[in-house]
Structure 1
């Protein structure tokens, strides 16, 4: 189980390293020389791949095919979740008709799958039955979602919010606010706020 925890951390770290890859098409002059950014991207790719390779080797040493299957499916979920996040442009945020059920699904893919399936895999290694494994899965899933909700709510509870802070219209508080108000009134409020040039996080 300790080895499994280390493998899970390796996968998580590898994903964070890969997420650090810079989109060269969006570079500005203040970001630094292009060659430096290209070199940095290569290092990020190689480092992330090295960590993933070590994680795969560790999984093989566990000699449990179900655990390998669980972690492989978690990795697939992570990639799918990140792809969805990156494929959504800023301009289309307000047109995305996202409800709380969709938010839960997307959050599970990009944040919860790895922890949930790792918890389930730990119970599999301990030879617990399917019921206990499912309880561990649910624990990991809801723990990850709680962490994501806490992250989403930070711009609304901080006393001082930087004007440069990124505001995500698909964050949990905004999605819940949309369901409370109704889609049409929500779009109207967001449009009015965008016309003023900034959003009031406190409202």
Structure 2
């Protein structure tokens, strides 16, 4: 059993490739212009919009028409075959809890697309550079640099706003106020991740660095997937009697899945490095791990910065968190199945996916 075979089965059972962003939503000519401008920026500046767009083009089959020859992904730290895409988890879980409805798959895939839209929009907005930051005091004297940064900021804000507007229209089309409320709350939580101590680089209050790191990951990655899974379950029209319990279980599953996947991706990256604990890292992103093309705080950097840690104790923390998340994922999936309909091929696929992710977490004890 491998992720490649599971993804192939998922594409067969869940209506095709994983739901993803179609940048032609910006308009075909506009999206082409966006990529041209971003490619131009790549040759003249280091604006953060460049790796975000480049990573999106590399990973998204919907945007093949926008790819430029020889513009390969130089910004992603993921080298292994991708795990089960988060946007595909949403229709997978939606179908697991779905009451017999021939139209539910289409609705669940739409929710997966909304997840992808919001995720990319948030990433684009995160690339906006604060030109008043003291870190850029010297660069502000370079008019060309300032012009390029301002252009990158405008592109990031405009593209991100358009994608969020599209997501809002799609959410409204469901005509279920509770879904709009759920997803709005998830966006707030994801944005709140930008103001945690890990995002701001502050370590003075990291009294429990492992816990602080995990809370940050759950905000940035877990909240949106968890709430989108919950919203998808609402589209299945469960009975009013069980809806709150179902929403809680599905939400927990999504948060645990996203958090464990994020940890394992980081661990894949960290295993290839030699962790140097001779002096604290200058930032919480010193190791260079990226997600969606953007640098992210790693558990290793957080531990090294907040306390005296050795490679051995760092790996022990990775193992401990992976074990906890794997157990929580298995438990939440078990509770979810208890509330779902009869077994089906989709149930089997979901179970195999969970089992494989849990197995990878168990194998992370090997750091040789």
TM over 0.5: yes
> For the residues of structure 2 that align with 1:152 and 1:117, how far apart are their CA atoms?
23
Q: Structure 1 residue aligned with 2:254, among 121, 140, 144?
A: 140
Residues 129 and 153 in structure 2, CA contact (< 8 A), matched pair in contact too: yes
How many corresponding residue pairs? 180
- Alignment pair present for 1:98 and 2:218: no
Residues 111 and 145 in structure 1, CA contact (< 8 A), matched pair in contact too: yes
2:170 is matched with 58
If each structure's helix is expressed as a fraction of its own residues, which one has the higher value? 1
1:171 is matched with 298
Residues 120 and 137 in structure 1, CA contact (< 8 A), matched pair in contact too: yes
Q: Structure 1 residue aligned with 2:154, among 33, 42, 59?
A: 42
Q: Report the 3-state secondary structure (helix = DSSP H, G, I; strand = E; otherwise coil) of the residue aligned with 2:307.
A: helix
> For the residues of structure 2 that align with 1:132 and 1:87, how far apart are their CA atoms?
32
1:55-90 C-alpha deviation (Å, 9 max, x unpaired): 11111111011111110000110111122257623x
> For the residues of structure 2 that align with 1:174 and 1:33, how far apart are their CA atoms?
30
Using the TM superposition, name which of 8-17 and 121-130 deviates more: 121-130
Residues 179 and 234 in structure 2, CA contact (< 8 A), matched pair in contact too: yes
Residues 197 and 203 in structure 2, CA contact (< 8 A), matched pair in contact too: no
> For the residues of structure 2 that align with 1:18 and 1:101, how far apart are their CA atoms?
26
Alpha-carbon deviation of 1:114? Answer: 0.4
Would the alpha carbon gap of residues 88 and 189 (structure 1) be closer, same or farther in structure 2, given more than 3 Å must change? same
Q: Structure 2 residue aligned with 1:158, among 263, 266, 272?
A: 272
**What are structure 2's unaligned runs of at least 5 residues?**
1-107, 276-280, 289-296, 311-366
> For the residues of structure 2 that align with 1:157 and 1:137, how far apart are their CA atoms?
30
- Alignment pair present for 1:21 and 2:131: no
Alpha-carbon deviation of 1:102? Answer: 3.5
Would the alpha carbon gap of residues 156 and 4 (structure 1) be closer, same or farther in structure 2, given more than 3 Å must change? closer
> For the residues of structure 2 that align with 1:143 and 1:133, how far apart are their CA atoms?
15
Q: Report the 3-state secondary structure (helix = DSSP H, G, I; strand = E; otherwise coil) of the residue aligned with 1:119.
A: helix
Alpha-carbon deviation of 1:94? Answer: 6.1
- Alignment pair present for 1:120 and 2:219: no
Residues 153 and 173 in structure 1, CA contact (< 8 A), matched pair in contact too: no
Residues 153 and 172 in structure 1, CA contact (< 8 A), matched pair in contact too: no
TM score, norm. by length of structure 2: 0.43
Would the alpha carbon gap of residues 85 and 110 (structure 1) be closer, same or farther in structure 2, given more than 3 Å must change? farther
2:345 is matched with none
**What are structure 1's unaligned runs of at least 5 residues?**
179-185, 191-201
